[in-house]
A and B are shown apart, each in its own frame.
Chain A
Amino acid sequence: NAGVTQTPKFQVLKTGQSMTLQCAQDMNHNSMYWYRQDPGMGLRLIYYSASEGTTDKGEVPNGYNVSRLNKREFSLRLESAAPSQTSVYFCASRTGAGANVLTFGAGSRLTVL
Chain B
Amino acid sequence: AQRVTQPEKLLSVFKGAPVELKCNYSYSGSPELFWYVQYSRQRLQLLLRHISRESIKGFTADLNKGETSFHLKKPFAQEEDSAMYYCAQRGNFNKFYFGSGTKLNVKP
Is residue B78 contacting chain A, with contact meaning CB distance below 8 A? no
- The count of A-to-B residue pairs whose CB atoms sit within 8 angstroms is 56
Q: Give me the interface of B with A, judged by CB distance under 8 Å.
A: 1, 6, 9, 32, 34, 36, 43-46, 49, 86, 88, 90, 93-101
Is residue A48 contacting chain B, with contact meaning CB distance below 8 A? yes
Q: Which residue of B32, B34, B49, B97 contacts A59 across the interface (Cβ within 8 Å)?
A: B97
The answer to whether B94 and A45 have CB atoms under 8 Å apart is: no
Which of A43, A94, A106: most chain B Cβ within 10 A? A43
Q: Give me the interface of A with B, judged by CB distance under 8 Å.
A: 31, 33, 35, 40-45, 48, 50, 56, 58-59, 90, 92, 94, 100-102, 104-107
The answer to whether A48 and B9 have CB atoms under 8 Å apart is: no
Q: Which residues of B contact A90 (CB under 8 A)?
A: 44
A43-B86, A48-B94 known; A100+B44 contact, CB < 8 A: no
Q: Which residue of B45, B93, B98 contacts A43 across the interface (Cβ within 8 Å)?
A: B98
6 A-B pairs with the lowest CB-CB distances in the bound complex, closest first: A42-B100, A43-B98, A104-B44, A42-B101, A42-B98, A104-B43
Q: Which residues of B contact A105 (CB under 8 A)?
A: 43
Which of B36, B96, B99: most chain A Cβ within 10 A? B96
Q: Which residue of B6, B36, B44, B97 contacts A45 across the interface (Cβ within 8 Å)?
A: B97
Q: Which residues of A contact B45 (CB under 8 A)?
A: 104
